[in-house]
Structure 1
Amino acid sequence: MLLGREEERAQLEGLLTAAREGAGGVLVLRGQAGIGKTALLDHAVREARGARVVRVAGIESETEIGFAALHQLLLPFLGRLPNLPPPQRSALAAVFGLRQSKEPERFLVGLAALSLLADAAGEPLLCVVDDAQWLDQESAQVLAFVARRLQAERLVMMFAVREPITRLLPLAGLPDREIRGLAPRAAAELLASATPGRLDDRISERIVAETGGNPLALIELAHELDLGHLTGAARLPDPLPISQRLGARFVREIRDLPASSQMMLLTAAAEQTGDPAVLWRAGAELGFGWDAGAVAEARQLLEPGTRVRFRHPLIRSAVYYGASSGERQRVHQVLAAVTDPDRDPDRRAWHLAEAAPGPDEVLAAALEDAAGTARSRGGSDAEVIIRMRAAEMTPEPARRAGRLVATAQAALTAGAFSQAGSLVESAEPALVDPLTRALAAEIRGKIQMRAGGSAARLPALLLTTARAYEHVDVRRRREKLLEAMDMVFTIRQAALEVTPLEIAKEALTLAPPPEGEATPGDLLLEGCATLIAIGYAEAVPVLHAALAALADLADQRAPGTLGVAAAHAVWDDRFADEPADERAPAVAGPSEALGRGRYRDAFEAARHLCELDMVNLDHQRLPDLIEAGVRCGERDQAQSALSRLRAKAQVAGTPWALGLLARSEALLAEPADAERLYLLAIEHLERTRMTADLARAYLLYGEWLRRHRRRNDARARLSMAHDMFVEMGAAAFADRCRIELVAAGTRHGASANATDDLTPQERQIATLAAGRATNQEIAAQLFISPSTVDYHLKKVFRKLGVTSRRQLKLRKP
């Protein structure tokens, strides 16, 4: 099956279709050796159903024999000679030695060939000429003559010409198509089909790129390279090796060059950057100059440009492997000598390694250092290649295995998971160092996670990895347990093969860090493990310490899910996630049902989430459970939930915790105590950044006021809540406020329009105060005294029914 080549196939098939309908045609396929010209001709032959096919190929040894190829082509039709007009019959018989005659006119020979083929084309006829670059000149002239005159014949001629060619062919001017390498996807598919085992994707990409998609090169490399090369466990040679059959075709292009040009090409093949400054410095030692490059460029072996680039990567391979190993080593020695060790230490180390006759620990260490340089420059793929070369140069097996594991780690960072797995597998038999074995186990775990594709298994894999570092590297063990704990709090009960309690107990077996060396991550790990495995009261001091340490960091951010979970655990609003998305707490889970007044649904959802809790964070849902329980008649359940909430909120002691506690207590309190508790909740929550919880406190207080027939006070509080919910995009709660406002006597449920009662000066002062300007700043701006500002602000607060600047901001005066 011919992979890819959709456009080329369509063009060939179009010619065959036209021939069946009586219109002849011709096409010359041009391209380098192995590019697939013959495969396209084969496809045309297969598609020529109902047509007669005659096929010939130019032969290099017959290029000087006149009419040799024409004889091959017309031999099947010589029985039709009597059908030709006498002059044409005589001319053709003469060139084929069928009769003695002086040399006939070339025009008559061409006309005879056309007539003979046209006579044979009573049914569609396909004439295929492969390797047309080796046609003898006489045959080429006659066939070109015929090809230009196929207007009304049921005849198609197809030629394949290998490029570049130095001979002048008469086929110029005929319809042609340049055949290039396969498209990447088709090339990768062809390579995979020719590979006996599994093929690493990144290795496949590199082979496709360095062969230019040449089909023959792809097929032959699949058999030339061993399994280690194809899986990424062994370094892919640079340049890629080239088979003798394909290499010979390219070597023809360089074997006649002057010695200086051949040396220049070998140096360019060894120095893949194409830096002309390096090449000409090397040339001073190796005996070539600018003129050598000009000769190679004239032969179309090099591309014109500021960098020295081969016209095709396979020419580079042919040049490099066409030289002896001694010649290659000498070139690399010179290149190492002329490469700047400060600017390009990695390239210099590479050339030194290529010049070495065998493994060398000093060179291996230099390559390892060079790999670090490549990484610092952002070259993750280059780092992998250099580390693999360092491993190859390492004489001692255990150290070589360690360097292979380091290479696998670099491959993992580069996203080459399959290659990383192959490298670890190849290193495993020689691994003796416990730390390296642990790193190998970590890499295997990450690869397994990648293959499994499920985050639910990641905590178990991370726990296994952490255990591999036991007695080997305490810090790495802590890091892996911290990652595992972070994942536990991300996916909660969805974790497979391990429970949060197992990870927590493992973390608590760690010896504490030396005094003064505990990081915020260490404290988070200890605090969350204590929360799960021991209890809330014991965890709170550690979690407070962890969050305080986070607050001291320059970037002021919690590390991922675990920091946010810790903040929610102790109701610390500095790192809670509402500021990042104020909508989330107001509409997520049970809260959404509460907003829509579906109290039974909210109660069941909150109770279900509390029952599923495996990390001692059920108190996050207790305020929802209490509110929903009160509204749907589950007061006993609500009272039980309140007891649990009280126990944790009093231990946490933050304004957020105490505000939620007071709000929840108010729902179950006697009327004489409820208002005090609502006001206390608002007072606490106004000191936090948790806008959604404050808005819900206003809403509940407003609903309580309306039920106690204090409609004016209710409208003020409900309007505050409505504005806040609208601003944060909590549509369900905003609708609940609107319904309550209608019940409280506000037309159409809009917010109370008290701002219309403000005087122009009061509105101006209110606007500045809402923008967080102080009384002194307002006074300076309006040329009045601070006491006058205070007087007007009190009137604004009274008219709008607010008690603080924060509330004023939300009312938008």
Structure 2
Amino acid sequence: MDGGGLVGRWEELRLLHTFVDRAAVGGGSLVLTGDAGIGKTALLDAADEYAGSRGATVLRVVGTELEGQVGYASLNQALYPLLDRIDALSTTHRTALQVALGFGEGPPPDRLLVANAATVLLRTAASAPLLLVVDDVQWIDRASAGVLSFVARRLTGSRAGFLAASRNGDNQGYFDHAGLPGYDVRPLSDVDAAELLGLRFPDLHRSITPRILQTAQGNPLALLELPRALSPSQRAAAEPLPAVLPLGRHLQRYFVARVANLPEPTRALLLAAAVDDSGDLGVLLRAGGDRYRLEDLGAAERDHLIEIHDHRLRFRHPLIRSAVVAAMTSADRRAAHRELAAVLADEPERRAVHLGEATIEPDEDVATMLEEAAGRLLGRGDHQSAVALLTRAAELSPGADARGRRLAESAFLGAESMGDFRSAADRLEAIRRAGGDAAASLHYASAAALVMIDEDGHVDTAHRLLVAAIAGSPDARNASNPEIVNALWTLALLCFVGGRTQLWDDLYAAMARLVDVPPDLLSLTLDMFADPARTGPAALPRLDAALRSVHHEKDLDVVQNLAGAAMYADRLAELREPLWRIVLQGRDGGPARKHLVSLFDLGVDDFHRGKWDEAAEFAAEGLAVSEDRAGGFFSWYPRYHQALLAAVRGRFDTARALVDQIAGWAGPRGAGTARAFAHHALVLADLGRGDYEAAYRHATAISPAGVLASHVPHALWMAMDLVEAAVRTNRRAEAADHVRALHAADIPALSPRLAILVEASAGIAATEDDASRAHFEKALSLPTVDHWPFDVARVRLCYGERLRRVRSVNEAQVQLAAAATAFTNLGADPWTARAERELRAAGLGTGANVPRTAALTAQEAQIARLAAAGLTNKDIAARLYLSPRTVGGHLYRIFPKLGITTRAALRDALGPDD
């Protein structure tokens, strides 16, 4: 909050304070300009207050349209407080001024004489600092405008300042700005606008905020009035917002008058543009028939209300669009919608929207069109518009059952995609009160299950409700019914959150009852995500095929379900671009829960790939989205990431506190997966602290040694953790059993990262040194070894420790130094300290004594030395039996590891010893 209670106006306030201080010494003038509602009056108030605090006399004038017709009315406002000083003027000046101000009689005085008299009076009164403030100067009367224009140019050298504010636009009034210093007051920045909105309307639902900000475009008055013009249910997001936001009282006064003065054909054409929002002049002109022509836009263009580019009409400000709608009657608006619908037969979504707005009485045909349009929009990922169309379809449904069915689907979509549980709960309650068959629909049951878990209900209760609804549905065997498919996806979510095998059994039973095969994406996601240790390797070819086309996918559900399928195969990197699209849509007010889940998916990939700073940003954003927009139920997602990052960075108290929050929340609700995620953070914290007994206990709480627990996919991520903790607590048999279980399930085939970890686990568990060495070397030579810096650094650390114990000191130093470098780059402080201790035990100090090639693999070091000696890629390839392209790829990875960008720098980077 800026001084004077203004948000985002530091620059303007600094300018005004400087002006007031300078005017108090040497006079001067300044004119503020800007759009209506931009905050000019608030800035004048702040200058008034500041001048008063500095001991100045402040004279205030406010121009009005009423007094604009009365000669010298504004000059009377300005000089009335100085009446007792008029007697000190010369007789000529005194008489002229008294007659002009209405305090004396006589013939009309010469205006130049009045202007001179006013100037002398102000300069005389300014024996102490004086500030004349004129607001809405465009409205002051012609006579006063001439005098004040004269005065404003003749205060330099006095102690009087002239500060005025004028509105932008064609109507500049009679005041002459030419040559006067000016400042154009700009809209608030996006950040400042959001801050102002949050301060004044802390209870405004977060899903509404982007729409208000978009319409206001940084106009402070709009930011303050638009929310007030909404109904309480609209502000709480329990009711959809209108297509055009209504204006408040002051905004109507400023903007509607400009529209009301336009010719009728112009207003009709602008109304069609306002309710259609495409700006396509061809469509608008066809809709109007003979009522208006293209030439009728001239008046609106001249008044700077619109712009025409590429045969499209654009309102110069969203508030003008709202003003056009506010200036017309509801009958006018409905007629415009009907006319547009009539010419949009080949665009069913737009036609349905216009018919929905034009229709008052229940109409099943229009409701059906809206429902069908919602389905098409869903296929393109536009969940918000689909929910709005379904809600309108429900309002226009003549029958109670159809109304309830459409409300149930809108409630489900709102809860599932947007996390809008409050609105969903309101819709479900309306359906329950109305009675009928809709309360038994699967969309109703799915939405109710989602609302239940957000309202702190037990996962098992929501699961039983939905299982019973699916089993009792007459369409329970129809795999092509969207209600059945949506219910199965919702049930899969509940099974995942519950994290218990018996919950999944009910889902598999429901799928087995389907007459046709389940949808491909549902089957793929379950095979890769539910229990990938048993069904994942066989499903990989299907995953590969699905990922090949995902970059062109517009359906957000498809993208996110594929992300779930790709997670435990470590293939999220192939979905980063479409996931980022969902995040950006979410930041612009798109579906909140999809925004949150995409942040989680990107954060998972970032953690494994060592992009921990970005992962932390995603976690913080996810927590804000969860608490503000997506329902508090899913806040354990981002808290898990925060706990994970705190654990690996050595902030053990923070990690523990976050884990306690997750576990305390998950326990009473039966959210077993949330507890499993919490154990993962504890395992890493325990390993970082060197508490291997605690690490083993937490790892085996997820999956016992020698067993890959059913439907606990997170156990795969802790496989090496369990093996390392088992060996360090002298449980070698358990470690060996776990390695055998990993190989028996063919986990190396599931993911390149897991292949490295399984091979390293075998090296840790091996009792024979030669076997251990072979496993570690194989792990470090596997593909994508450069993609997983934290995991691979841990492998190098374990390998280096083993090498040091068998007195292969030189080799140990290379592995340990590479691990220390990687941990340092990541900020994994506990692991850096452990690697440096091992380095010292191996007889090598840290820091400057670490070999230059420490961060390189053995093959990379060899290639680097040959390249530094001057060999070409072709020469190196021939010597090492590689392709020149492979050599080039290695060098591409070597340069950043050595901190260089050119081949010429290789010799210096490697140093003489290398």
* 1:609 corresponds to 2:614: no
Q: Structure 1 residues 110, 582: closer, same or farther in 2, change over 3 A?
A: closer
Q: Deviations over 1:691-716 (max 9, x none)?
A: 66556767887x747xxxxxxxx5xx
Does residue 483 of structure 1 match 2:493? Answer: yes
For residues 358-757 of structure 1, the aligned pairs below 5 Å read 358-412=361-415, 415=418, 417=420, 420-421=423-424, 424=427, 427-428=430-431, 429-430=433-434, 432-433=436-437, 438-440=442-444, 442-443=446-447, 446=450, 466=467, 469-472=470-473, 473=476, 478-487=488-497, 500=500, 503=503, 512-513=512-513, 517=517, 548=538, 555=545, 605-606=695-696, 609-610=699-700, 613=703, 617=708, 654=744, 690=755, 704=768, 720-721=774-775, 723-724=777-778, 726-727=780-781, 728=785, 729=792, 730-739=795-804, 742=807
For this pair of structures, how many residues does the alignment match?
Answer: 673
Q: Post-superposition shift, 1:71?
A: 1.9
The superposition leaves residues 65-118 of structure 1 with CA deviations (integer Å, 9 ceiling, x where unpaired) of: 322211221122122123224443343234335555554443332222122112
TM-fit CA distance, 1:275: 0.7
Check the 8 A contact 2:128/2:159 in 1, yes or no: yes
Q: Structure 2: how far apart are the matches of 1:601 and 1:430?
A: 60
**What code does the residue aligned with 2:493 have?**
E
Match of 2:149 among 144, 149, 158: 144
Cα offset for 1:142? 0.9
Identify if the C-alpha distance between structure 1 residues 608 and 463 changes in structure 2 by more than 3 Å, giving closer, same or farther: same
Match of 1:794 in 2: none
Amino acid at match of 2:371: E
Instruction: Determine the structure 1 residue equivalent to 2:27.
Output: 24
Pick from 64, 68, 71: which aligns with 2:73? 68
Instruction: Give the aligned residue type for 1:394.
Output: S
Written as runs of structure 1 = structure 2, the 5 A alignment for 1:80-479 is 80-98=85-103, 101-166=106-171, 168-173=173-178, 174-188=180-194, 191=197, 198-243=203-248, 246-283=251-288, 285-306=289-310, 307-339=312-344, 341-342=345-346, 344-412=347-415, 415=418, 417=420, 420-421=423-424, 424=427, 427-428=430-431, 429-430=433-434, 432-433=436-437, 438-440=442-444, 442-443=446-447, 446=450, 466=467, 469-472=470-473, 473=476, 478-479=488-489
Structure 2: distance between partners of 1:34 and 1:720: 74
Contact 2:440 2:469 in 1 (8 A): no
CA distance in 2, matches of 1:208, 1:749: 56
Is the 8 Å Cα contact of residues 524 and 543 (structure 1) preserved in structure 2?
A: no
Instruction: Summarize deviations over 1:544-597 as a string: whole Å, max 9, x none.
Output: 677546656663899778999899xxxxxxxxx99x9899xxx9999999999x
- Shift in alpha-carbon separation, 1:460–1:127, aligned structure 2, 3 A: farther
**Alpha-carbon distance change, 233 to 395 in structure 1, aligned in 2, over 3 angstroms:** farther
Distance 1:133 1:434 in 2: 60
Residue 347 of structure 1: how far off its partner (Å): 1.5
TM-aligned CA deviation for residue 601 of structure 1: 6.5
CA distance in 2, matches of 1:111, 1:699: 97
Q: Which amino acid aligns with 1:471?
A: G
Question: 1:744, 1:246 → 2: CA distance?
Answer: 78
Asked if the contact 1:435/1:469 (under 8 Å) is kept, the reply is no
With normalisation by structure 1, the TM-score equals 0.68
Name the CA distance, whole Å, in 2 between partners of 1:524 and 1:309. Answer: 44
Alignment of 1:31-50 (within 5 A): 31-47=34-50, 48-49=52-53, 50=55
Shift of 1:746: 9.4
Query: Could you give the per-residue CA deviations for residues 190-221 of structure 1, whole angstroms, max 9, x where no partner exists?
Result: 556666x9422232321332244444444444
1:292 Cα shift? 0.5
In the alignment, structure 1 segments of 5+ residues that lack a partner are 490-499, 532-541, 568-576, 660-683, 706-713, 756-762, 772-813
Shift of residue 384 of structure 1?
3.5
Q: Quick check: 1:57–1:132 contact (8 Å CA) kept in 2?
A: yes
RMSD over aligned CA atoms reads 5.2
Contact 1:371 1:387 (C-alpha < 8 Å) held by counterparts: yes
- Residue 496 of structure 1: aligned partner: none
**Residue 515 of structure 1: how far off its partner (Å):** 8.3
Deviations 1:245-286 (A, max 9, x none): 543443432444333223222322232211111122234x14
After TM superposition, the score normalised by the length of structure 2 is 0.61
Residues 604 and 417 of structure 1, relative CA distance in 2, 3 Å threshold = closer
Q: Which moved more, 1:374-383 or 1:554-563?
A: 554-563
1:609 partner letter: A
Q: Match of 2:45, SS?
A: helix
Q: Considering only CA atoms, is the larger Rg found in Structure 1 or Structure 2?
A: 1
Q: Could you report, residue by residue, the CA deviation over 1:429-469 in whole angstroms, capped at 9, with x for unpaired residues?
A: 336446766534544655676798xxx98788667655654
Q: What is the CA–CA distance in structure 1 between the aligned matches of 2:811 and 2:222, rounded to whole Å?
A: 82
Q: Is the CA contact 1:28–1:159 (under 8 Å) kept in the aligned structure 2?
A: yes
1:495 corresponds in structure 2 to none
Q: Is the 8 A contact 2:59 2:131 kept in 1?
A: yes
State which drifts further: 473-482 or 293-302. 473-482
- Give per-residue Cα distances to partners, 1:395-436, cap 9 Å, x unaligned: 334433432333344445664636754663664433644676
Q: CA deviation at 1:40?
A: 2.7
Kept after mapping to 2: 8 A contact 1:742/1:749: no
Change (3 A) 1:725 1:66: same
Question: Which whole-Å CA distance do the structure 2 matches of 1:515 and 1:280 have between them?
Answer: 52
Give the deviation of 1:136 after TM superposition.
1.3
Distance, in Å, in 2 between the alignment partners of 1:7 and 1:767 is 65
